[in-house]
Amino acid sequence: MESIVKPDPFQVKSGDSPYQVTSDIAGIKTLFVNLYFVGEPGPGNPWVLVDTGFMGFTSSIKDKAVELFGEGTKPQAIVLTHGHADHVGNLESLLKDWDVPVYAHRLELPYLQGKSSYPPPDPAIGGGGMAYMSWVFPIGPTDFGDRIKSVEDGDTIPELPGWRVVFTPGHAPGHISLFRESDRTLLAGDAFVTTNQNEVSAVVTQREEFHGPPAYFTCDWDAARQSVKKLKELKPLAVGTGHGIAVRGSDLTIGLNKLIDKFDELSIPSQDGRYVKQAAVTDEFGIVSMPTPISFHVARTVGVGVVLGVLLYAFWPKNDD
């Protein structure tokens, strides 16, 4: 009897970008953070943008949209996993041309509507150069006013049929992930990541490693741990994360299992971090209280050097020969 060859359910070809999650979810990296185009490629096809990446990449986003969906395209909506600066960096500039709804969790609204800054980063958490230079990252607030529509855990988004919102706080108070039950595809945002986002060398090489959320901006570690468990229980078969390459199949299952088993070891570089023993307390209005800050004069000094090194790497003339 002739054997039947089953097609790859995700239809991702060997030549595709490492940020391609499935045939209808294309990802791009903006400096060190990913965003995703959800929609079947083709001129005029509907699509949704998930996150907007690091500032200064508006043209790259629009160019990729045209490549995927044709001239004159725009998304039906933009969904934000959370409002940290590296995930909303191009939102304002995109909305100048794209008059579309923007969705975020209700508990993210204070930081996206000008009411509160985020809990400050935690350079004392250590673990690598990204943590050391985190004190320079903006914490808002940004104000997009009534452009932001709120969602809750379990909601469906009209412009994104087949997907549901999964509330995954910890890294940010109102962090969400998106899950498609039909093929068990997950867009996890920063709930967990597939590279060591704390370490500059891993960020540059995009070395595949499963870690909890970027440590330097995680303000509630107990919630972060529970969020990863919640996502593991969905048994995803493909994932795109805010940092790192897309992962599928057994690699994803093994990686998540290991992450759950060794969450603190893999995710929390130092028990001396500001939010490790006591989380920031937030509500629908923003920050309520925070633990006492930990001195990070060493981190600040080292961070200046790391920032300069990264800038030199990014802008030093490259030899294309």
Determine contact, residues 247/194, Cβ cutoff 8 Å. Answer: yes
* Residue 59 falls inside a structural domain: yes
pLDDT of residue 293: 86
Rounded Cα gap, residues 44 and 139, in angstroms: 37
4: in domain: no
CA-nearest of 30, 80, 21 to 55 is 30
Residue 16 domain flag: no
Domain hosting 196: range is 25-315
**Has residue 1 been placed in a domain?**
no
Compute the distance between CA of residue 275 and CA of residue 224 in angstroms, rounded to an integer. 11
Question: Would 13 be classed as within a structural domain?
Answer: no
Helix (H, G, I), strand (E, B) or coil at 111: helix
Per-residue pLDDT at 295: 56
Tens digits of pLDDT across the chain (321 residues):
344 434 455 566 656 899 999 999 999 999 999 999 999 999 999 999 999 999 999 999 999 999 999 999 999 999 999 999 999 999 999 999 999 999 999 999 999 999 999 999 999 999 999 988 998 899 989 999 999 999 999 999 999 999 999 999 999 999 999 999 999 999 999 999 999 999 999 999 999 999 999 999 999 999 999 999 999 999 999 999 999 999 999 999 999 999 999 999 999 999 999 999 999 999 999 999 999 987 554 444 444 444 444 444 444 444 433
Q: What is the reported pLDDT for 10?
A: 57
Residue 53 lies in a domain: yes
Considering the domain boundaries, does residue 235 fall inside one?
yes
Long-range contacts of 208-212 (CB under 8 A, 24+ apart): 208/244, 208/245, 208/247, 208/251, 209/244, 209/266, 210/255, 210/256, 210/258, 210/259, 210/266, 211/259, 211/266, 211/267, 212/259, 212/263, 212/266, 212/267, 212/268
What are residue 164's DSSP bridge partners? 179
Domains identified in the chain, total number: 1
Q: How far is CA 133 from CA 126, 136, 198, 305, in A?
A: 10, 6, 10, 9
What pLDDT digit, counting tens, does each position of 85-111 carry? Answer: 999 999 999 999 999 999 999 999 999
In this structure, is residue 12 part of a structural domain?
no
Where residue 236 sits, what CATH number does that domain have? Answer: 3.60.15.10
